[in-house]
Amino acid sequence: MTSAQTETPATDLDLMAHFKRSWSLFAERPILHVLAALVVMLGGALTLGIALGPLLVGYLRLIDRQSRGQEVALGEVLDGLTHFAPAFVTWLIVTGAVIMASALVVLPGVVVGFVWTYALWFVAIKEVKPTDALRASFQLARAHVGPLLMVMLATVALNFVGSLIVIGVLVTAPLGLILMTLSFATLAK
């Protein structure tokens, strides 16, 4: 890695602009996003979490395509299953590491979750293998601590509000994933 690659890039992450764009993308196709989130949640639950990573990868790709102005359809959520192994392995490593680190005390789990926040986005959008996704997510988190912290806090707050009314999660979960996907596109340039 060259010194130019390890320097912290100056990134303007306008959280409010990203949130407005997230809402706009959600509002363009609200039924699609609610159904896609349901497919991910129910598919993950019915398979005891085995299909959760791959389904999430499919949904992240759908969001990325929509954000670039491409046509999208609900069936694209299942496209993540075509890359089952990298999505599953990445999901398993991140989830397992967060659980194990959280067992020590909560803070180590939060740190692991923070540095590997975008691992699945690297698998979904950059199509890298799990080890490269974990490494790239760590490097992204290290280079953009402030912006990533803002995005994560906004997403957690959004989903907390959505969880106050159970049905609210059907809006806030997709909205949070759209926000994170748009932020990923900005931070991972």
Query: Contact, 167 vs 157, CB < 8 A?
Result: no
User: What residue ranges do the domains of the chain occupy?
Assistant: 28-187
Confidence (pLDDT) at 1: 40
Cβ-based neighbours of 172, under 8 Å, separated by 6 or more: 158, 159, 161, 162, 163
Specify whether the backbone of 69 is left (phi greater than 0), alpha (psi in -120 to 50) or beta: left
Nearest alpha-carbon partner for 155 in 138, 175, 171: 175
Q: Are 160 and 120 in contact (CB under 8 A)?
A: no
Q: Per-residue confidence at 132, pLDDT binned at 50, 70, 90?
A: very high
User: How many other CB atoms sit within 10 Å of the CB of residue 4?
Assistant: 7
Q: Put residue 172 in one of left, alpha, beta given phi > 0 → left and psi -120 to 50 → alpha.
A: alpha
- Which residues lie below 8 Å from residue 154, measured CB to CB, with a gap of 6+? 15, 19, 179
138-168: b (≥16 Cβ within 10 Å) or e: bebbebbeebbeebbebbeebbeebeeeeee
Residue 23 has pLDDT above 60, yes or no: yes
Q: What dihedral angle (degrees, nearest 10) is formed by the CA atoms of 14, 146, 65, 38?
A: -110
The model's confidence at residue 5, banded by pLDDT at 50, 70 and 90, is: very low
Q: Is the pTM of this model over 0.85?
A: yes
pLDDT at 12: 78
Residue 2 predicted with pLDDT over 50: no
Taking 50 as the threshold, does the pLDDT of residue 30 lie above it? yes
Please, what is the average pLDDT of the chain? Answer: 94
For 52-91, the pLDDT digits (tens) are 999 999 999 999 999 999 999 999 999 999 999 999 999 9
Output the pLDDT for position 55: 99
105 has a pLDDT exceeding 90: no
Asked if pLDDT for residue 11 goes beyond 90, the answer is no
